[in-house]
Amino acid sequence: MTNSESAEPCSAFWADAARVRAGYLAEVPTQTLVLKVAEEVGEVAQAYIGMIGGNPRKGVHKSRTDVLDELADVLLAAAIPMVDLAGGPAAAERHLAERLGFVSTRAVVASGNGGAGGWHGSFIAPHVLLQREDGRVLVLRRYNTGYRDGWLAPPAGRIEPGEDVLTAAIREAEEEVGVTLRREDAEFTHIMHRTAPSLPGPCHAVSDYWFFFRHWEGEPHAAEPHKASEALWIDPTTPPEDVIPYCAQALTAITRGGPFSVHGW
């Protein structure tokens, strides 16, 4: 994919991909951009054949730099429609990070030793409980996510590269319910170690870290309507029947003062 715009320093790969999309590719349909990836892959193959002299008629007529350029064009060609389909550069970046984590986990499983020294680990997921003065906590009704759609759960998510668990919790709360939280207001309340066949990694397990926040800025709401249809305040001492089971178990343990629980083992 040749860029007719003048080259500029790229402060962030996904932001630059979005800039290209909004620039000279603004009128190109997403479908065409997706199909363009196949064309770019073909050009990589041609450049590689030219580098190794695989075509006797032409001999060696391409360099390693030519191949690297074509590979870079494949990355760009894929990134630009990803920005469209994911819903923006930040979402595309998150999706790639999640995919890299999945592929890395698959590599660990294939190695058969669980990583260096034979260690096996669980993934970590932060969970946020915004609690009002009346004791009720905020939950979201999941929608169009592919997991437990229609069920209730608090704001939660995955840790992104470079984040500690509390940083991830604060980010997830801002993304999912539109509030700003401060680290000093966090109250660690519970950890749950759960397992299920569908969970990632060699252990198929996740360690959930639960944090209370009683102070925040902004009005909590379902800030990602494509992932949650509504936000509700519930009594954590009597969770509704449509709270995701492991969340209901954690809420019950929390209201009883239990700092630790397991689920699914």
CATH architecture of 13-100: Orthogonal Bundle (1.10)
pLDDT of 103 reads 66
Domain with CATH 1.10.287 in the chain: 13-100
Q: What pLDDT, on the 0 to 100 scale, is given for residue 104? A: 60
pLDDT of residue 108: 53
Low-confidence ranges of the chain (pLDDT < 50): 1-11
Predicted pLDDT at 111: 54
Q: Where in the chain is the domain with CATH 3.90.79.10?
A: 123-263
Contacts for 143-149: CB closer than 8 Å, 24+ residues apart: 143/225, 143/226, 143/227, 143/228, 143/229, 144/226, 144/227, 145/227, 148/244
**For position 223, what pLDDT does the model report?**
97
* CATH number of the structural domain 123-263: 3.90.79.10
Could you read off the pLDDT of 44-90 as tens digits, one per residue?
A: 999 999 999 988 898 999 999 999 999 999 999 999 999 999 999 88
Count of CB atoms situated within 10 Å of the CB of 18:
19
Predicted pLDDT at 116: 53
| Global pTM value | 0.61
* Whole-number pLDDT of residue 101: 63
Rounded Cα gap, residues 193 and 253, in angstroms? 13
